[in-house]
Amino acid sequence: MTGSAAHENGTPEGLAALLTDASIEAIAAAGGHSGGVYLRSGTPGLLRLAVLCGLPGPLFRSWWRLHVDSRFPVADAYRLGVQVVLPNATESMRRYPQFAAGLPFQFGSLYVPVVGGSKTFGVLTVLGPSAADAAEVLPGVDRMTRIAGELGAALAELDADDPSVAWDGEPLCVRPPGVHGFEGRMGRFVWDPATAVVTCDDSLAALLGVAPAEFSGTVQAIADAVSPADTHQVLSALRSTSVGRPPPLPLRIRTADGASRVMDLWTPDAGSAPSSGAYPVSGIVVDPSPAPAADGAADQLPQGVFCLDRLGLVAYVNDRAALLLGRSRADLLGQPLWESVPWLEQAGGDDQLRGALLSHEPMHFHVRRPDTEDQRSRESDWLALSVHPSHSLLTCTVVPTNRVADAPVGPPSGTAGDRDTPMAPLYRPIVLAIALTEAVTARQVSAVVVKELLPAFGGRRLAIYLLQDRHLYLAWETGFPPGFLTSFEGLGLDVRLPGVETLTSGRPLFFDSMQQLASAYPGIPLDAEEGARAFLPLIASGRPVGSCILGFDRSRGFGTEERAVLTALAGLIAHAMERAHRYDTEAALARGLQQALLPRRLSAHPEVETAGRYLPGTQGMEVGGDWYDVVEAGNGLALVIGDVQGHGVQAAATMGQLRSAVRAFALGDRPPDEVMSGTNRLLIDLDPGLFASCCYIRLDPVGGLARVARAGHLPPLIRSPDGRTHVWDIPGGVVLGVDPHARYPVAELRLEPDAILALYTDGLVERPGHDIDDGIAALRVALAKFGAAAARPGGRSLGDVADRLTAKARHTADRPDDIALLLAARRPGRPRRS
């Protein structure tokens, strides 16, 4: 990766420079127009966008954070360690519908994991024009893979010194390769630190108001001439750039008379560190205001014109555009458009800008200006905007217009009160529909509605009631005053309230103001003096499920189109809630079944101490097929642990059948290989469509002989009395339920007194994006540490050790898999502890 050797990589700035270099190189190598790097964060399972090159960060805030288990291309590339190639929008929609619904534009994207050693640090991504198929972009993917490999090696080197290499802040937004500032009046210069000489072109001398012959040619002179009030800032930026750390954004500076200017810096060639230790620095100084002649010509145009750079800063604006946007030219130049004109974003302009930036295709849309005191003097409340993208700029035109019926963006028809909030046409119901397909529980469904539905319609309050035994019970609320909804809990269907009547009648109820609501339902408690309310029936397959209440802080109207969309979305929510109810019922059944099947107590022996722990997963069904057991086997004990593929009732039922089979074989004191073979044939005969892993150890408590057979399960760990731990590397057969003729070899080991034997399932040692060997190594370290207290006479019990080994997982809210752990130790001559 060019230039990385020159960076002080051990600093946050050095890490940012590494990621920035890789992003810029990848964009150039793959022929894209933007890209960046996602990096692991300090929060387990969460990826953060660290660098975004060629796109304005605030417009893509929704994609700043991604969980590694989400159904997005970045998450798959990280979790699975594979390249994800999406050459066009069609392929994106086919493979990642939620991602494509959020960015429904014609562009292609590439994702390559950044791996160093055995660790995955993040994902390198490039966005570019659509391609016909994957074959067209594969050469670029190959070049990206090389760059990602170099970045991974550099990050692994950093990680060796500081294992906390991660990104927890906002993304660093940088310019794409080959784009160095605004189009407009500008001059260029080059500073060579080795000779201390600055050379500039005639345009810069003219811009600075000095004759070329009078320019002294020193870095101090150019800093004084460019910005007398910001000399220190300019010098600092120049020196940082000379050592490979250019500022992430153009510097906004001021002249002596307060006029706005922009300076951008870069190193033309950072391929290898120069002998002097510093690179030559190229720079431009831009006056974003047009020259006087151009100024007059632009103001003769009938439409407003303004330009944005690739980071969303206003590079040029004529007087007509400033007038129509309601801001002065000084307030717009050099500023992010959505900060200067926030109502453009609220009216859907952000979506159109995203489309132009990603697809490089023109975008045309209509927006309604907010109410102002001079509304009567305005030509029109509506503006027609067109966005024409190029490699370095977005050129936008704006003209007043009457609203047209087919305007792609803008509020729906309705009363005047709807002009202040985003309305239904801005919202794509497919986004909510796809998000609801991934919600399983009623809580998850409610969270999706809060995230996707409320912002789209400008709502601030939400309540979801579900029907149970002809009464409505609150399932979720947000935004209402604390305790306000308590009086509405458990209402019967004969009560005259809008939340009840919308369900019993099957018709949505809309109230433009709180006064209108109070008039329709005299005496109804109100949570606010101002606002509007929508009461939506939740009906699925003709059956009532509950009701949904949306609250708005201001009075407003509901247009015909918006009412139809809200009613349709209520149907989606109802079906999701109905599915969630079925899930909750099945989950409760599965949990009860599993609790009944897991051992209430473990078989005991006076010279053996055992302890077992089970933790269900917290995603999906929360019930899996992991189990452990201790069974009397002749004059010894059988130690068993297993894991049935899948989750839910079927996995729990299969686990129960296997546990019963293993217990039956163990009680007959059958050899370990026969136990595995017999259980394997039983599972194949049952044909549940599932397979299972299992480890079976027959332990002689007196002599310490342990004989083991393994069917595709993780190998046991052993902690010796001297504190050393190691993996018991034993041969094994295939998982149970696959091959009726499978053989399971038996290995032997003599377990020393006070040594600890640990059996575990993969949920304890496997984390998305990490090698399972790293998880096993971490468990070995923890066993060595926590097992010391259990090895001493009178020390901790194995139960305490088991609690410590599972403590981190127990306090992790997002466990994708269930966990089983079984510990055993010989205690000859010592009383057995519980």
In this prediction, residue 445 carries a pLDDT of: 80
- Model pTM score: 0.47
Strands (E) located in 479-526 = 491-492, 509-511
Residue 586: pLDDT over 70 = no
Per-residue pLDDT reduced to its tens digit, 728-742: 988 888 999 888 889
CA-closest candidate to residue 259, choices 232, 286, 237: 286
Half-sphere exposure of 686 (CA within 13 A, CB side): 22
- The Cα 352–Cα 426 span in angstroms is 11
Query: pLDDT-derived band of residue 180, with 50, 70 and 90 as boundaries?
Result: very low
Do the Cβ atoms of 324 and 46 come closer than 8 Å?
Answer: no
Among 49-53, 88-92, 424-428, 603-607, the range scoring the smallest mean pLDDT is: 424-428
| SS3 category, 476 | strand
For 161, counting Cβ atoms within 10 Å of its Cβ (0-12 exposed, 13-18 middle, 19+ buried), the class is: exposed
Spatial CB neighbours of 288, under 8 Å, sequence gap ≥ 6:
182, 184, 260, 261, 262, 314, 315, 316, 333, 334
Neighbours of 454 (CB within 10 A): 18
Among 3-7, 155-159, 188-192, 503-507, the range scoring the smallest mean pLDDT is: 3-7
| SS3 category, 556 | coil
- The Cα 92–Cα 797 span in angstroms is 54
Do the Cβ atoms of 694 and 642 come closer than 8 Å?
Answer: yes
Give the orientation angle of helix 429-437 with respect to helix 560-597, to 10 degrees: 10
Pick from 184-193, 194-203, 399-408, 631-640 the range whose average pLDDT is largest. 631-640
Spatial CB neighbours of 799, under 8 Å, sequence gap ≥ 6:
611, 833, 834
* Bridge partner residues of 423 (DSSP): none
- The Cα 119–Cα 788 span in angstroms is 30
Percent of the chain scoring above 90 in pLDDT:
26
For 797, counting Cβ atoms within 10 Å of its Cβ (0-12 exposed, 13-18 middle, 19+ buried), the class is: middle
Stretch 480-507: mean pLDDT, rounded? 89
Residue 416: pLDDT over 60 = no
In this prediction, residue 417 carries a pLDDT of: 34
Residue 187: pLDDT over 80 = no
Neighbours of 460 (CB within 10 A): 17
Per-residue pLDDT reduced to its tens digit, 331-383: 888 788 888 888 886 556 787 888 888 888 888 888 888 765 555 445 567 88
In this prediction, residue 414 carries a pLDDT of: 34
Spatial CB neighbours of 365, under 8 Å, sequence gap ≥ 6:
348, 349, 352, 384, 385, 407, 408, 409, 410
Supply the mean pLDDT for the chain: 80
What secondary structure letter does DSSP report for 762? G
Residue 695: pLDDT over 80 = yes
Pick from 269-283, 322-336, 589-603, 616-630 the range whose average pLDDT is largest. 322-336
In this prediction, residue 454 carries a pLDDT of: 74
- Spatial strand order of the sheet with 197-200 comes to 197-200, 185-192, 281-287, 260-266, 251-254
Pick from 216-230, 585-599, 690-704 the range whose average pLDDT is largest. 690-704
- The Cα 666–Cα 684 span in angstroms is 20
In this prediction, residue 425 carries a pLDDT of: 40
Per-residue pLDDT reduced to its tens digit, 553-583: 888 888 776 787 788 778 878 888 877 777 7
Stretch 681-707: mean pLDDT, rounded? 89
- The Cα 777–Cα 261 span in angstroms is 56
- The Cα 299–Cα 313 span in angstroms is 21
Do the Cβ atoms of 101 and 431 come closer than 8 Å?
Answer: yes
Task: Give the rounded distance of the alpha carbon of 98 from its chain centre.
Answer: 13
Of 793 and 519, the one with more pLDDT = 519
Do the Cβ atoms of 666 and 633 come closer than 8 Å?
Answer: yes
Of 335 and 85, the one with more pLDDT = 85
Residue 48: pLDDT over 90 = yes
Per-residue pLDDT reduced to its tens digit, 440-466: 677 778 777 777 777 767 788 888 898
- The Cα 451–Cα 436 span in angstroms is 11
Per-residue pLDDT reduced to its tens digit, 387-409: 888 777 787 888 887 644 333 33
Neighbours of 429 (CB within 10 A): 17
Residue type, 583: Y
Residue 823: pLDDT over 80 = yes
Q: What are phi and psi of 354, to 5 degrees?
A: -60, -45
In this prediction, residue 821 carries a pLDDT of: 94
Do the Cβ atoms of 677 and 656 come closer than 8 Å?
Answer: no
| SS3 category, 726 | strand
Residue 37: pLDDT over 60 = yes
Residue 25: pLDDT over 60 = yes
Q: What are phi and psi of 704, to 5 degrees?
A: 85, 5
Per-residue pLDDT reduced to its tens digit, 117-155: 888 999 999 999 989 888 889 999 999 999 999 999 999
- The Cα 797–Cα 832 span in angstroms is 9
In this prediction, residue 521 carries a pLDDT of: 93
Stretch 38-67: mean pLDDT, rounded? 89
Neighbours of 628 (CB within 10 A): 25
Exposed e or buried b per residue across 713-725, where buried means at least 16 C-beta atoms within 10 angstroms of its C-beta:
bbbbbbbbeeeeb
Percent of the chain scoring above 70 in pLDDT:
78
Do the Cβ atoms of 451 and 476 come closer than 8 Å?
Answer: no
CA-closest candidate to residue 189, choices 215, 169, 164: 215
What would you measure as the largest C-alpha separation in the chain, in angstroms?
103
- The Cα 92–Cα 427 span in angstroms is 20
In this prediction, residue 158 carries a pLDDT of: 85
